[in-house]
């Protein structure tokens, strides 16, 4: 008898291991109930279609919507929620790169779990609303003014159409994937045209009302992701019942910032209609205390909900333009968002995801994808009126 070589011994061992894995795989595979109406071929087809990785990537594999066409769509082409990418980063003060945010969020969604939320008992994607992904808007990458003209136009086309199910809302609600935070202005303009003035719930590290009260009102050269909410208030788009949550960035020194942000910015911020919840309040009153304050502030007003991913600590969201340490955890943010079900939300966004600075594990984009699901859940927790 020949002594087996090491190579053949290794091959035999691997063969045994593979066959054992196959048996183990069979034993844990879910058993399918026989269905006389379904052919084996149809079952294979259904399995192919259920993969999150086949075909072109839309958010959570929702239908692609041809949302930007002019005119009233056929009944079958209408939608209730439109996910829209705004790939702009011409208006950042720090690191550029948020123009790649929408694609990164969609890709992260294909690696995420969505469905029945064990904390709220809701499944955002199975409530009968027609959710479509419109893809990204075509924007200028060199001309700020042109980029926002195009983004305004896209929002207007999407939001002015009739919704698929008017029991949810008369017009589709838009969920924007940023893009830097300045992209929120186009969403607010279209929301204002359709719904009127809104209270803003702004979840962010920074106030984003910079430039207020300093002789820079509506000077378009100063319009950027840190002044956007001041411009929105100056344009009459937002009410004086707005609120920030998660704020923890210091204001810039008068010596080094062109906007000369000072402690007095809090006063200017009040003039723009905001109450401030600093992020460490969560250590004293908990996420439920934060939620209570937000509900009390906005009540049943129409609300626009804007989430800047930089509200998270860079440990949870390194992939963003202006990270500031000491932020909330992903869990805290999701708990706060889940607490906002029941508000009259007419539009929402997640902004400032900048994948070039993300971790190899896509920490930031994965967090943003869960934020999107939470925002859709909020929109469908009640009809918008
Ligand atoms: Mn921001």
**Count of domains observed in the chain:** 1
Which pLDDT belongs to residue 217? Answer: 59
Residue 22 CA to ligand 1 center (angstroms) comes to 50
In a domain, 67, yes or no: yes
In a domain, 4, yes or no: no
Supply the pTM of this predicted model: 0.86
In a domain, 26, yes or no: no
In this prediction, residue 165 has a pLDDT band, given cuts at 50, 70 and 90, of very high
Residue 228 CA to ligand 1 center (angstroms) comes to 9
Residue 246 CA to ligand 1 center (angstroms) comes to 11
In a domain, 155, yes or no: yes
* Residue 283 neighbours by CB distance under 10 Å: 7
- The encoded tokens of residue 327 equal 């932020």
Residue 66 CA to ligand 1 center (angstroms) comes to 29
H or E stretch covering 20 = helix 6-28
Distance CA 277, CA 266 (A): 12
Q: Mutual orientation of helices 363-380 and 101-109 as an angle, nearest 10°?
A: 80
Residue 75 CA to ligand 1 center (angstroms) comes to 37
Residue 24 CA to ligand 1 center (angstroms) comes to 49
Model pLDDT for residues 82-128, shown as the tens digit of each residue:
999 999 999 998 899 999 999 999 999 999 989 999 999 999 999 99
In this prediction, residue 267 has a pLDDT band, given cuts at 50, 70 and 90, of confident
What one-character DSSP code corresponds to residue 238?
Answer: B
In a domain, 3, yes or no: no
* Mean pLDDT value across residues 133-138: 98
In a domain, 161, yes or no: yes
In a domain, 360, yes or no: yes
Residue 92 CA to ligand 1 center (angstroms) comes to 10
Out of 7-21, 301-315, 339-353, least confident range = 7-21
Residue 308 CA to ligand 1 center (angstroms) comes to 5
Please determine, for residue 29, whether its predicted confidence score (pLDDT) is greater than 50: no
- The encoded tokens of residue 246 equal 């998660």
Domain of residue 180, CATH code: 3.40.800.10
Which pLDDT belongs to residue 266? Answer: 77
Which is nearest to 206 in space by CA: 152, 122, 138, 265? Answer: 265
In a domain, 9, yes or no: no
Burial of 56 (0-12, 13-18, 19+ CB in 10 A): exposed
Model pLDDT for residues 318-355, shown as the tens digit of each residue:
999 999 999 999 999 999 999 999 999 999 999 999 99
Length of the chain as a residue count: 385
Residue 229 CA to ligand 1 center (angstroms) comes to 9
Please, which residues have CB less than 5 A from ligand 1, an ion?
A: 181, 204, 208, 308
DSSP E strands, 248-377: 274-278, 302-308, 344-351
Distance CA 228, CA 182 (A): 5
Residue 301 CA to ligand 1 center (angstroms) comes to 22
Residue 88 CA to ligand 1 center (angstroms) comes to 14
Domain range enclosing 355: 59-381
């Amino acid at each position: 008898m020949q002594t087996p070589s090491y190579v053949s011994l290794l091959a035999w061992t691997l063969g045994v291991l593979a066959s054992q894995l196959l048996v183990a795989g069979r034993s844990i595979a879910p058993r399918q109930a026989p269905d006389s109406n379904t052919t084996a071929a149809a079952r294979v087809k259904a399995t192919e279609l259920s993969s999150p990785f086949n075909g072109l990537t839309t958010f959570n594999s929702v239908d692609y919507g041809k949302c930007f066409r002019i005119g009233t769509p056929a009944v079958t082409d209408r939608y209730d929620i439109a996910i829209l990418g705004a790939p702009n980063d011409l208006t950042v003060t720090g690191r550029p790169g948020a123009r790649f945010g929408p694609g990164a969020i969609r890709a992260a969604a294909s690696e995420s779990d969505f469905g029945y939320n064990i904390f709220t008992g809701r499944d955002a994607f199975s409530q009968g609303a027609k959710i479509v992904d419109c893809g990204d808007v075509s924007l200028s990458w060199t001309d700020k003014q042109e980029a926002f003209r195009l983004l305004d136009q896209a929002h207007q086309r999407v939001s002015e159409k009739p919704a698929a199910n008017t029991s949810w809302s008369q017009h589709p609600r838009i969920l924007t994937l940023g893009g830097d935070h300045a992209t929120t202005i186009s969403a607010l303009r279209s929301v204002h045209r359709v719904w009127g003035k809104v209270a803003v719930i702004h979840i962010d590290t920074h106030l984003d009302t910079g430039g207020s009260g300093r002789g820079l009102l509506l000077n378009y050269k100063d319009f950027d992701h840190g002044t956007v909410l001041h411009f929105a208030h100056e344009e009459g788009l937002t009410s004086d019942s707005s609120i920030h949550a998660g704020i923890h960035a210091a204001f810039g020194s008068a010596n080094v910032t062109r906007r000369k942000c000072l402690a007095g910015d809090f006063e200017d911020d009040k003039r723009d209609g905001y109450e401030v919840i600093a992020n460490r309040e969560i250590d004293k009153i908990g996420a439920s205390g934060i939620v209570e304050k937000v509900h009390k502030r906005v009540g049943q007003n129409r609300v626009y909900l804007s989430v800047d991913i930089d509200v998270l600590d860079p440990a949870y969201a390194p992939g963003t333009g202006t990270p500031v340490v000491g932020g909330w955890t992903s869990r805290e943010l999701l708990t706060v968002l889940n607490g906002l079900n029941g508000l009259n939300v007419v539009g929402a966004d997640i902004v400032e995801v900048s994948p070039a600075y993300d971790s190899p594990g896509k920490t930031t984009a994965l967090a943003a994808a869960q934020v999107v699901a939470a925002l859709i859940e909020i929109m469908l927790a009640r009809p918008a009126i």
